[in-house]
Chain A
Amino acid sequence: MAGALAGLRVIDLTVWFQGPVAAQHLADFGAEVIKVERPKGGDQGRGVRSIKALPVGDWNQYFLVINRNKKSMALDLKTAAGREIMYRLVERSDVFLSNLGAENLAAWQLTWEQLSAVNPKLVYATTSGYGPYATTSKPAFDMTVQALTGLMSRLGEPGEPPIYLGMGSGDAYGGLMAALAILLALWHRNATGKGQRVDASLYGAQLFLAAPTLQAWLATRDRRYSEQQPRAAAHNPLWNTYRAKDQWLVLCVPNRDDAFAALAATLEAAGAGRAAPLAGDARFATVAGRREHARELVAALDAIVATRTAGEWMARWAPLADRRIAASPIATFADLVRDAGVRANDYLMETYCEEVQRPVTVRGMPITLSRTPGTIRSLGPELGQDTEMILFEMLGYDWDEIGALKAAGAIP
């Protein structure tokens, strides 16, 4: 079955994470993505050997997952013949995507002005660090840009170091934004015949990632949204993390009298061994009281929740979903891998890895299309594996010319 984006051709001149993952979204839904890499070593992501001080193992998942469903072409863009090949590719493609520095693209004559002259219908997409109107010029990596947004310094307990949202968290968002930008520009091109230049930067994306608290802070300048807050003084003690006997859980109950009463009843029924039941405690009898006495209420809930396992609490609370009581044990990745819903929705998928000749589990399709679902047809390509076929079949070079290109060092 053809994917939703079948018929689109994308030139993917990107390295590391943010750029490659943008093209991955398009490739998952059926676009033909041609990854163009330098002949020597290719994308730097191919060189990742360890993660968290552990060897990556026998397959480099960093590279292979975000470059799945792609072809690879090795081109030396420093040579005139290499650039000529790139221009021919651009002529026959819908999208050019790059996250290389603007100075690189200029040196290789791959600017928007130059490529749109070759193909006026081209969508020219970049994933930059600080945006098209940047004043900062230094290299941009996920964490150093996340640092600027303010996202990190509001997380964690007061006095603890700031918290990074996870490896590639911002790159992933910038990549998704770029994929959206490309589809927006293609929609416009299909209507008007005109290409354009689009950009989704790490900085812009990560500011948007902060929206729930950044937007609130902009309106109020209230430090509650911008600085570390102790869980022991949660703004709503009923919407907070608690440690059960065996593990942490998250409790999501709105600070409303009816919901609190329903929750208190379950705590009571659990025979949690408190002398004074929560329901009769005057301090906690009103919305304002629960907020004013947040520390005392968190402490009381800490003591009660700790008496039973997360599983026991879930069994008590599950029937109360319609009373606005929701909760979940706080899982680990090991739990996630066993999660039936995760598999049912293809959020994790099995696919065959040529490199190690066995099936491996990879991140699947976070977006579900009922009629044209995303698919994994192959993991990341070997460096330059499709170079000659693309030259021959798509670009019309003959074998003599291909030999000359090799001699000129344009291709390996």
Chain B
Amino acid sequence: MTRALAGLRVIDLTVELWGGIGAALLGDFGAEVVRIDGLGPSPAVGAEDERPPGAWNAHAALAQRNKRSLAVDLESERGRELVRALVVESDVAITDRRRADLVRLGLDYATLAARKPDLVYARGSGFGPKGPDADAAAIDELAAARTGMMPILPQPGRPPVFPGHGQMYTAVMLAFGILTALHHRARTGEGQEVDASLLGGNMYGASLDLQAYLAIGGERMLQPISRLDAGNPMSGTMYRSADGPWVTLTMPDTDRWWPIFAPLVDLAVDDPRFDTHDKRCGTHRLEMMQVLEAAIRRRPAGHWRTMFQEHQLSADIIESYEFPAADPQVRRNRYLLTIDDPSAGEQTSLGFPIFMSETPARLDATAPARGQHSAAVLHDILGLSEDAITALRDAGTIAG
């Protein structure tokens, strides 16, 4: 089967989870991704405690799948020169390292583009390529803290919440930015530099709340809003069911759904308090939320899910990770996969969020051990002889 990105070669100089995923997205669709692993400890700056303990490195399984690994000593000029030579033979370089480190290593855009003018060079940064924080550490917590969402996520009076997903917007933005630049290169022959930052990712994720503040302004947009003070009692709300799980509703067009929904919550369709959209979302908004709160509380979550399915309502139960892990359509869509890890055996991993009918994503290879492909990469791409590779290994320039 053909692959969407067949023939494209990517040199992956990332160290963080999200940067690695940005490159893995290209590998999932058939690009040849060569991961550059240093010989020392990883210079990653993100939260170490997120990384699950145990023999199987689940994060690496996701971020490094479909890649080959070259372990090379980036502290030696000989090692760095090998990486530069690989970049010259490639289409894309991607990194999330600090700019100062890249300059020191001679792996920055200016140095590489001098040797490979049509290179697409993507960098995942903390706060973007310009401005006072262009060189600040790329840590998702710092970017989330700057975005303005953390204070408004919880209920009023509760501590700000770090959501932890902002980095995932950035991961996809890196891949999208690279593809956009490649389309430009295909037409014009020109390479360029791409940047996607954690701040940009977090801001994009905050899209509508942020845009509403920009356009409407005011204190209400800066403060947490109680769940029982929502703008529309039937949309973006949550209420607790009798047996504990929370129910959430999103039916913005209440006129359309009211005749179906009202009887389910023990209300007459012509209840004079709630019989128009303006009453439901205006004059009787707060009262309606109290009424819904009591009604939802009368019956268990299972009842509500059945009702929502039967009546085709956009409403559901707020689940935990157990739910998608057991949901057959998640497997059918390959959003989760069972993978056979050479050392850890059968494991469940996130799969592929993008469906393509002709060139589907594939798991060609599980995450490599550090340096697993050192010799093969140097032979295949740079044409180095076995003797030359042995000499590099003996000199400690490469490992594996």
Are B158 and A156 closer than 8 Å at their CB atoms?
A: yes
Q: How far is the CA of A236 from the CA of B134 in the complex (A)?
A: 27
B169 touches which one: A173, A248, A348 (CB < 8 A)?
A: A173
Q: How far is the CA of A135 from the CA of B6 in the complex (A)?
A: 32
Listed residue (B48, B191, B253, B330) with the most chain A CB atoms within 10 angstroms of its CB? B330
- Tell me which residues across on chain B come within 8 A of A227, comparing CB atoms: 320
- Tell me whether A150 and B355 are in contact in the complex, defined as CB-CB below 8 angstroms, given that A137-B312, A367-B177 are known contacts: no
- A87 contacts chain B at the CB level, 8 A cutoff: no
A225 touches which one: B52, B246, B329, B352 (CB < 8 A)?
A: B52
Encode A180-200 as 1/0 by CB contact (under 8 A) with B.
Answer: 110111111011101011111
Q: How far is the CA of A214 from the CA of B350 in the complex (A)?
A: 8
- Tell me which residues across on chain B come within 8 A of A117, comparing CB atoms: none
- Tell me which residues across on chain B come within 8 A of A393, comparing CB atoms: none
Q: How far is the CA of A137 from the CA of B310 in the complex (A)?
A: 10
Q: Which of B76-84, B181-189, B372-380 contacts A (4 or more CB under 8 A)?
A: B181-189
- Tell me which residues across on chain A come within 8 A of B133, comparing CB atoms: 341
B168 touches which one: A164, A186, A212, A220 (CB < 8 A)?
A: A212
Q: Which residues of B from 328 to 343 have beta carbons under 8 Å from A?
A: 328-330, 332-333, 335-336
- Tell me which residues across on chain A come within 8 A of B210, comparing CB atoms: 333, 336, 363
Are B154 and A163 closer than 8 Å at their CB atoms?
A: yes
Are B356 and A198 closer than 8 Å at their CB atoms?
A: yes
- Tell me which residues across on chain B come within 8 A of A282, comparing CB atoms: none
Are A51 and B183 closer than 8 Å at their CB atoms?
A: no
Q: Which residues of B from 29 to 47 have beta carbons under 8 Å from A?
A: 29, 45, 47
Listed residue (A200, A212, A337) with the most chain B CB atoms within 10 angstroms of its CB? A212
Are B358 and A188 closer than 8 Å at their CB atoms?
A: yes
Min Cβ gap B10→A in Å is 13
A250 touches which one: B141, B177, B195, B316 (CB < 8 A)?
A: B141
Are B48 and A255 closer than 8 Å at their CB atoms?
A: yes
- Tell me which residues across on chain A come within 8 A of B332, comparing CB atoms: 131, 133, 135
Give the interface SS of chain A, mostly helix, strand, loop or mixed: mixed
Are B356 and A181 closer than 8 Å at their CB atoms?
A: yes
- A284 contacts chain B at the CB level, 8 A cutoff: no
Q: Which of A54-62, A73-81, A273-281, A395-403 contacts B (4 or more CB under 8 A)?
A: A54-62
Q: Which of A140-148, A260-268, A380-388 contacts B (4 or more CB under 8 A)?
A: A140-148
Q: How far is the CA of A284 from the CA of B330 in the complex (A)?
A: 44
- Tell me whether A157 and B159 are in contact in the complex, defined as CB-CB below 8 angstroms, given that A52-B231, A366-B196 are known contacts: yes
- Tell me whether A176 and B176 are in contact in the complex, defined as CB-CB below 8 angstroms, given that A143-B248, A144-B248, A321-B137 are known contacts: yes
Q: Which residues of A from 280 to 316 have beta carbons under 8 Å from B?
A: none
Encode B157-198 as 1/0 by CB contact (under 8 A) with A.
Answer: 011111111011100110111011111101100111111110
- Tell me whether A336 and B58 are in contact in the complex, defined as CB-CB below 8 angstroms, given that A57-B215, A148-B319 are known contacts: no
Q: Which of B66-74, B200-208, B263-271, B387-395 contacts A (4 or more CB under 8 A)?
A: B200-208
- Tell me which residues across on chain A come within 8 A of B253, comparing CB atoms: 44
Are B145 and A331 closer than 8 Å at their CB atoms?
A: yes
- B212 contacts chain A at the CB level, 8 A cutoff: yes
Min Cβ gap A242→B in Å is 9
Are B128 and A187 closer than 8 Å at their CB atoms?
A: no
Are B5 and A216 closer than 8 Å at their CB atoms?
A: no
- Tell me which residues across on chain B come within 8 A of A271, comparing CB atoms: none
B354 touches which one: A141, A150, A184 (CB < 8 A)?
A: A184
User: Mind listing 5 A-B residue pairs with CB under 8 Å?
Assistant: A6-B187, A144-B314, A161-B238, A366-B203, A369-B177
| Given A135-B329, A341-B132, 5 new contacts (CB under 8 A) | A50-B231, A213-B321, A215-B62, A218-B325, A345-B200
